[in-house]
Structure 1
Amino acid sequence: MHYVLLGIAIISEVFASSMLKASNGLKKVIPSLGVGIGYIVAFYALSLTLKSIPLGVAYAIWSGVGTALTALVGIVIYKEKLTTNKALGLILIIGGVILLNVEGSH
């Protein structure tokens, strides 16, 4: 269950970050509400996750996967370019999350 909550935290954070772009500097009401709701859900779910997953592992997964997914949203939805450096960075982030997860399980 704790990884389900972490997944909810990640998806909510990615949603909120994506809504930041759509909000036009928090000038559009509906996307701005999405920002607030998304971050509230994300931090609440993350706080519940921390009851059973160590802080360093949970935060590394949350921030790393969230960063990678947010970059993918930028590429797919906002038509940002996938450069070699961006692809390499995403691979390194995912690799780091995997390493921390393996370390956290020992």
Structure 2
Amino acid sequence: MKANLAAYSALSLAIILEVAGSMLLQRTEQFSRLWPSLGTVGLYAGSFYLLSHAIKSMPLSIAYALWAGIGIILTVASATIFFQQTLDWPAVLGICLIVGGVLIIQLFSGATGH
């Protein structure tokens, strides 16, 4: 139980750092600005470090699917809030299909090894 809590805690923090890095990425202006660039690289490095801890106690497929799926949702929400970026219905549908596909694979496929 303690290992699961630690794994999901590390995964949650990894997702938060990845989303923060993605939000800061726009401010790097193609990595031409030093501090936003260093911040982005640091946040991504921290995210991967925490993801590596999460996969000690959970299958990589589950950890990565959660990391990617939740990351997509939080990134879209953050971009909408902080950058006033809006999505049209085809984009929303596409994101829903990606997240739905990840869920179907994780919940019903025998190929994931869980």
Q: TM tier, shorter chain?
A: 0.7 to 0.9
- Aligned partner of residue 57 in structure 1, secondary structure: helix
Instruction: Name the stretch that deviates more: 61-70 or 14-23.
Output: 61-70
Q: Report matched runs for 1:22-101 at 5 Å.
A: 22-101=27-106
Question: Where in structure 1 are there 5+ consecutive unaligned residues?
Answer: none
Which entry has the higher C-alpha Rg, 1 or 2?
2
What is the alpha-carbon distance in structure 1 between the residues aligned to residue 20 and residue 53 of structure 2? 19
Mapped contact 2:15–2:71 kept (Cα < 8 A): yes
The ranges of structure 1 where at least 4 consecutive aligned residues each deviate by more than 3 angstroms after the TM superposition are 96-106
TM-score between both structures, scaled by the size of structure 1 = 0.84
What is the alpha-carbon distance in structure 2 between the residues aligned to residue 30 and residue 100 of structure 1? 39
User: What does residue 11 of structure 1 align with?
Assistant: 16
Mapped contact 1:60–1:97 kept (Cα < 8 A): yes
Question: Where in structure 2 are there 5+ consecutive unaligned residues?
Answer: 1-5
| Identity within the alignment, % | 37
Mapped contact 2:59–2:113 kept (Cα < 8 A): no
Structure 1: which amino acid aligns with 2:93?
A: L
Structure 2: which amino acid aligns with 1:20?
A: L
Deviations 1:1-57 (A, max 9, x none): 211110111111111111110111112222112111101110000000000110111
